[in-house]
Each structure stands twice: as C-alpha cells, then as structure tokens.
Chains A and B, each alone.
Chain A
Amino acid sequence: MLELKNIKTFYGNIQALKDVSIEISEGEIITLIGANGAGKSTTLMSICGIVPPRSGEILFMGKPIQDMAPNNIVSLGICQVPEGRRIFPFLTVAENLDMGAFLRKDKDEIKRDIEYIYELFPILAERRNQAGGTLSGGEQQMLAISRALMAKPRLLLMDEPSLGLAPLIVKQIFEIIKKINTENKTTIFLVEQNANMALKVAHRGYVMETGRVSMSDTAANLLANDEVRKAYLGI
C-alpha cells in the first residue's frame, strides 16, 4: 500500500532521514519505534508532504506521491494524527471534526460519521460546543483521532498518541487503535516511544536509529529480541 524507497529528508542543511525504506501492506498495523530525534516524526511529515524528501521515492498504491502538495496527499486517503495532537484550539469540538472532513463532499454521510464518533467518544458529544483548546489531554487525543477518522483515511499515520497521557487512557487509546484497524479495515502506521504497547498491537515493526532503519521484523520477534528489549523496553 505504502512504500518508502530510500528517502532522504533535510531540515535546511541538517539531514534528518538518511536512506529510509519502509513497506506497509493494506490492513496492517505497522509500528515505528526509536529514541527521541531518531527521525520518526520526520518520516511521517515526509509522507504527508509537509517536509518532502530531497531524494528517494514514496509510493502510495503504486503511484509516486513525494512531489505532491499536502492537501492532495490527504485527498488520496492518507491522514495524520500528529504529535502533540494539534487540536485547533479556538474551534469548537464540532468544528474540529468538520475540519477533519474538509475534503469530503458527502454531507449526509459526514453527519452519520459524526454520530458514530459521538457514540465512540460520548465525552466529545458532551463537549461539542466547547473550544478544542479547553479539553484535557486525553480528550484532545480522542478528538485528534476522531478528526483524522472524519477524513475516512485508508492509511492512518499516528505520531505518539500515548504521549503525556495517564496509563489508563493510554490503554484506552491503544484499544481504539486496534478497533479502527479491525472494524474499519484502516491500515495504521504507528510511531511510538512506548515500544512495549506499540509492539503488542502491531503486526510488524521497524526500529529507527539516527535517521536510519536499523531493524525490522514481526512485532512478536522484536518483542523477544534482546537488543530491542534492552534499548527500548528497559528490561
């Protein structure tokens, strides 16, 4: 479904991604783990066209997308839940959800999807007219995920959805991720520092170190791998 082929991405003169190749098939949950500054978020921003790679290829359903504008990439069905949630702070919860469906034209179905979201997260229904910036961290994360779902993504990119949340809420978030994957058949590319949780929900995983992919295997094998256990699981 998505294939990164030897992409190199720069911020000015600083090279953040040095030759990254990743492959994601339809229906999978793939996780990308690694330390701070390894280039995980940059990988997602490169896919979305916010920081396009300087060389290499990104193929989505076999077509190169690395030179496309971000809004055109979204229209292909690639959505991101970015790090830090990035809720529009002065838009209401309902307006934030509307923004998620920005490129959709099917009004009736959008309405139905909003109802579905409100069923999934009753707290968002309760706060629909409240400004997004006034929600708690966990609620904002739910809103951020919901906003991305409103776009009906085929591929959902998630950047550290567990960051800064209480353990109970982290558990809830990961359950939702699993549910999105199994019920909506959405392919998920999950970037996480919480390697333990991520590897438990994912099918396969990639490990990233200073701009390179250093390891890739099935999630079960990575969980059992000594190096991974020492470096990322703290065992």
Chain B
Amino acid sequence: MEYFFELLLSGLTRGSIYALIALGYTMVYGIIQLINFAHGEVYMIGAFTALIVASILTMLGWNEIAILFIASVVAVVYSMAYGYTLEKVAYKPLRHAPRLSALISAIGMSLFLQNYVLLAQTSDFMPFPSLIPDLEILEPIAHLITTPEIAIILTTAIVMVLLTFMIKFTRVGKAMRATSQDREMAMLVGVDVNRVISITFIVGSATAALGGVLIASHVGQINFYIGFIAGIKAFVAAVLGGIGSMPGAVLGSLVLGCAEAFFTGFVSSDYEDVFAFIILVVILIFRPAGILGRSDISKV
C-alpha cells in the first residue's frame, strides 16, 4: 500500500511538471490552432538560464532560497522573451498561410533552438544544483514524498489557480477566450488580436520555464535535449486532456504522470516512454477530442 502511495505521489509530481508545459501547448493551440513544437525548447532554455544564474550566485556564496528565487525569476523572464520573439519571428508572418507551413516552421524553430544550445553548451549532461532544500519538518514522510516534490506540486497548483483566475475574470483573459472562440469577431469588438497572441505565448513560456527550473533542480542534471522529450510528453498530456482546454491539460498531465509512474513501478521502467505514446495512440483512436475536449461546433 505504501508503495502504491509512493508511486501515486511521484506520478503527481511528474504530472505537475507536464502540466506546466502542457498549458503552453494548449493555450497556444486554443488561440491560433498551432501545435507549437518549439515549446519544449523554451522549457529547456528556462532550465539552462536558471543553471547559469544559479552557478554564478553559488560562486558568490548566496543562500539556497535566494538563489532558487532569483534563478527562477530570471529564467521565467528570459523565456518569456523567447516565447514572444518566437511567435513574432516564426509564426506571425505565417498567420494567413496554410496551417502546415506554421507547423513546419515550429519544427524548424525547435531544431534551431536545440542545436543552438548544443553549440553553446555542448551535449554533455550538466549537473544542476538541487535548489530546493529538504525541510526537517517533512523528514517523517520523506520516504513517501520529498520536499522538492511537494514544492513542485504546490507551485503547479498555485500557477493553475492564478491562471484560472486570469482567464476567467480579467480583461485580457476574456479577450483570450473571445479570440480563441472567434478571432475575427474579437477583432470586431476591438480586441487587439496580435497583442492577445503575444500574451498567450509569453504566459505559456513563463509556466514552461518554471517547470524547467523545478524539474532540473529535482532531477539534478540537464542537457540540450531535455526539452524534446518533456515537450512531447506534455503534448501527449495536452491531447489526452483535450487540446485547447486548460483544465483538460492539467487533468491529462496528472493522468499521464500517474499512469507512467504506475507502469514504471509495477511493470517495467524500460518501456516508460513507449507506454506514454501507446496512450497517445489509443486516445487518438478512441477519443480524439480528449477527456475534456469538445468537438468543434459548426457555425450556423
């Protein structure tokens, strides 16, 4: 039984990270119907930025919590700039082109960013300092769940609440929903659609970067390739939950995270990634709209 809970909690941790990335996929898809394949790379760049900042601050002898905070903030801000630029450079010029062109552009950007980091940082795995300290109070349950894991789950929960609030109640959130439901009509009521799209990319990049920092600090090493596999997994999670739906992305991520954890724990860890993609295939065959997804309503 304890083993079961251990797996469940590790699954939720993993799912939380997927959720932070999947949100970016699903928000961008909701607004411009594009699978932003370069999204995983933004997460990877977030992790690298945090590593560089953390290394410098460690050399200067700062304390752990301050380093964690500053590294996260810098990584998030830097990734936001990446997300913004990515959209302006690779997608905006293709706004009226066939969807396939934008998709190819996305894959191109993904390869470009990977290789650019490869050249700058080599292909070696680099050790990432564990920035989240183990709290003593949590020692009694440490065999079930560690402090970093709790931090990851909590951070994700807070981000979800903030995002939900933003989407539901703020002016920009309403503009985002309106744009995703009918872009032209949103323009006709005065929404600056270009701005809404930029904001969507910026917000998605911010959550992805946060995920990058948290998981890098938890796993303890990163290289240029981490964005690819994490990005693809988060994409599977977004499709599983119903792409375009934000609660769907979170639910899909948690389900995928737990499914992977249980599969690893009870069956075999060698086939963990294979298992994730089997889920993708099964979903696409039997419920292409995802768990919470809605099929398009036709306009009358």
**A residues lining the B interface (CB < 8 Å):** 48-50, 69-71, 74-75, 79-80, 82, 84, 86, 88-91, 95, 98-100, 102-103, 133, 137, 147, 151, 164
Query: Contact string, B180-224, partner A, CB cutoff 8 A, digits 1/0?
Result: 011011111111110000000000000000000000000000000
CB B60 to nearest CB in A, in angstroms, measures 46
Contacts of A164 in B (CB 8 A): 300
Contacts of B171 in A (CB 8 A): 102
Question: Do the beta carbons of B297 and A99 come within 8 Å of each other?
Answer: no
Question: Do the beta carbons of B187 and A88 come within 8 Å of each other?
Answer: no
Contacts of B193 in A (CB 8 A): 71
CA–CA, A48 and B185, complex, Å: 11
User: Can you list 26 A-B contacts with CB-CB less than 8 angstroms, sorted by A residue number?
Assistant: A48-B187, A49-B187, A50-B188, A71-B190, A71-B191, A71-B193, A75-B190, A82-B184, A84-B299, A86-B182, A86-B185, A86-B299, A88-B181, A88-B182, A88-B185, A89-B182, A90-B177, A91-B174, A98-B174, A99-B178, A99-B186, A99-B189, A100-B189, A102-B171, A151-B189, A164-B300
Question: Do the beta carbons of B177 and A71 come within 8 Å of each other?
Answer: no
CA–CA, A79 and B193, complex, Å: 16
Contacts of A48 in B (CB 8 A): 187-188
**Interface presence of B7 (CB below 8 A):** no
CB A114 to nearest CB in B, in angstroms, measures 15
CA–CA, A188 and B297, complex, Å: 31
Question: Do the beta carbons of A102 and B297 come within 8 Å of each other?
Answer: no
Contacts of B185 in A (CB 8 A): 82, 86, 88
Question: Do the beta carbons of B177 and A74 come within 8 Å of each other?
Answer: no
Q: A82-B184, A99-B175, A99-B191 are in contact. List 13 more A-B contacts (CB 8 A).
A: A69-B192, A71-B190, A74-B190, A84-B299, A89-B181, A89-B297, A99-B174, A99-B178, A99-B186, A102-B189, A147-B189, A151-B190, A164-B300
Question: Do the beta carbons of A50 and B184 come within 8 Å of each other?
Answer: yes
CA–CA, A80 and B186, complex, Å: 11
Q: Which 9 A-B pairs have the closest CB atoms?
A: A74-B190, A103-B190, A70-B187, A86-B185, A71-B192, A71-B190, A88-B181, A102-B190, A102-B189
CB B188 to nearest CB in A, in angstroms, measures 5
CA–CA, A151 and B187, complex, Å: 13
Question: Do the beta carbons of B177 and A102 come within 8 Å of each other?
Answer: no
CA–CA, A151 and B188, complex, Å: 11
CA–CA, A70 and B187, complex, Å: 6
CB B178 to nearest CB in A, in angstroms, measures 5
CB-CB under 8 A for A84 and B300, given A147-B189, A151-B190: yes
CA–CA, A49 and B300, complex, Å: 23
- Please pick, from B177, B187, B297, the residue contacting A91 in the complex, using a CB distance under 8 A: B177
CA–CA, A90 and B174, complex, Å: 11
Question: Do the beta carbons of A74 and B181 come within 8 Å of each other?
Answer: no
Question: Do the beta carbons of A50 and B191 come within 8 Å of each other?
Answer: no
Contacts of B177 in A (CB 8 A): 88, 90-91
CA–CA, A135 and B177, complex, Å: 19
